[in-house]
Amino acid sequence: MNSESSRPNSALRASAIALVVPALLSLSACKSDKPAPPDAGAPDDAVAATRAALLEASGACVLQTAREFQTVAAALDDAVKAHAATPDATTRDAARAAYHAAMDAWQVAEVMQFGPAAPRSVPGGAEHRDNIYSWPLVSRCAVEEQIVNRSYASESFETSLVSRRGLYALEYLLFFEGNDTACPGTSAIVSQGTWAALSEDERAARKRAYAAVVAADVHRRADALVSAWAADQGNFTQTLTTAGSGNDVYPSTQAALNAMSDAIFYFEREVKDLKLARPLGMRECATSTCPEHLESQFAARSKTNLRANLVGYRRITEGCGEDFSGTGFDDLLEASGADALAARLRERNAAAAAGIEALPGEDVATLLAQDKAAVRTLYDAVKGVTDVLKTELVTVLDLELPQSVEGDND
């Protein structure tokens, strides 16, 4: 499409998205399907009861989401092994479909990085998330070096750098069909010619074997994440719901709520700033757009990931039940007397969902080239969500801003 012919379509599409988003803001923000807070004699009692309900609901939600991923991770493991054993178009397509299903589930969980999914540097953290999916800490070159070195066959591979494992590595191994390498000339596989020396068939065979190892590792870690939260195993759900005096991880309910708040700031840092602002050329980009910063470089599912991220965010901020019913941060706002803010939170969430659906296709890379204005309109809708999060919700509920966003004024 030439630039002149694309301008009318670009303007119309951006205008359409701009109309859809405000229209949703006029919808009723009432959440009548949600139970009222337990009876309480005083406002402070109602707030305390809702805080406890939110912790309980959130723990159950994380476990539910982890189990959803566990199911598709097992199917992914089976499909990738089948492709390695019988490499043809049918098994390849089945493995790719299984990858999409697994990533659909995982991107919901991305917004729930508290407790065992969080880094070890925070209370309760066990780094399950980074071992499953480490984006943006990824390296195509690191994966290609493993193809040459066959380090994936080593018994120590499961303790290797996360950039060599997980769902990012699997995306490359299942979807990238080129023969070039992203490694610089200083890499041994380039300087010594070992990458170029691999035949196309040998490279493909190694990628299938590597993928099978990675899929099995992801499956094991999905099991471990569920185990960490499940009541009959690690039972971190109880750790979360019993926050307060005597709890070594969360010595107060406020500490637990801060951990949850830090996790949903994923929607500010990774979604708004990294997945949208950087590709749009709004930060850390020296050209008009930087599509190389988009999250899904090989499976072309960057918009799909955004959709799932918003689902995860809404599960925690609105509720984890059908149509986001159940207890969420919005209920705590209402118990605290901030009904208008709770309504605004739900309205902004719905507007962002409409903005995502209004974008055509599933890959943002094409839109960046043809219709940057439409992607910018989506960014604005997402910013509407994060503005409520970082300027109003944290203030009303007396939550701490994560260090990574302190001083960030955009």
pLDDT confidence bin for 363, thresholds 50/70/90: confident
Q: How far apart are CA 45 and CA 346, in angstroms?
A: 25
Based on its alpha-carbon atoms, the radius of gyration of the chain, rounded to whole angstroms, reads: 22
Looking at residue 27, what is its pLDDT? Answer: 41
Q: Does position 14 have pLDDT exceeding 70, yes or no?
A: no
Looking at residue 409, what is its pLDDT? Answer: 65
Structure tokens at 204: 């493909």
Looking at residue 11, what is its pLDDT? Answer: 44
Which tens digit of pLDDT belongs to each residue from 393-405?
999 999 999 987 6
Q: Does position 214 have pLDDT exceeding 70, yes or no?
A: yes
Angle at Cα 12 formed by Cα 277 and Cα 308, nearest 5°? 45
Q: How far apart are CA 320 and CA 312, in angstroms?
A: 9
Q: What is the mean pLDDT of the chain?
A: 91
Which tens digit of pLDDT belongs to each residue from 63-74?
999 999 999 999
> Span 55-238: which CATH code?
1.20.1420.20
Mean pLDDT of 221-243: 98
Looking at residue 361, what is its pLDDT? Answer: 83
Which tens digit of pLDDT belongs to each residue from 250-306?
999 999 999 999 999 999 999 999 999 999 999 999 999 999 999 999 999 999 999
Q: How far apart are CA 393 and CA 334, in angstroms?
A: 11
Which residues, 6+ apart, have CB-to-CB distance to 14 below 8 Å? 371, 373, 374, 376, 377
Q: Is the dihedral of CA 321, 342, 114, 236 positive or negative?
A: negative
Mean pLDDT of 18-25: 44
- Residue, of 32 and 138, whose pLDDT is higher: 138
Q: Is 186 in a helix, a strand, or coil?
A: coil
Buried b vs exposed e over 81-104: b needs ≥16 C-beta within 10 Å?
A: bbbbeebeeebbebbbebbbbbbb
Q: Which of 393, 386, 395, 390 is nearest to 406 (CA)?
A: 390
Looking at residue 407, what is its pLDDT? Answer: 57
Mean pLDDT of 154-178: 97
> Span 247-399: which CATH code?
1.20.1420.20
Which tens digit of pLDDT belongs to each residue from 92-125?
999 999 999 999 999 999 999 999 999 999 999 9
Looking at residue 408, what is its pLDDT? Answer: 65
Q: Does position 40 have pLDDT exceeding 60, yes or no?
A: no
Mean pLDDT of 199-206: 98
Which tens digit of pLDDT belongs to each residue from 172-197?
999 999 999 999 999 999 999 999 99
Q: Does position 203 have pLDDT exceeding 90, yes or no?
A: yes
Tell me, yes or no, if the two domains 55-238 and 247-399 fold the same way.
yes
Q: Does position 7 have pLDDT exceeding 50, yes or no?
A: no
Pick from 38-47, 64-73, 148-157, 269-278: least confident? 38-47
Ranges of each domain in the chain: 55-238, 247-399
Residues in the chain: 410
Structure tokens at 398: 């007396």
Please check whether residue 143 is in contact with residue 185, taking contact to mean a CB–CB distance below 8 angstroms.
no
- Residue, of 5 and 81, whose pLDDT is higher: 81
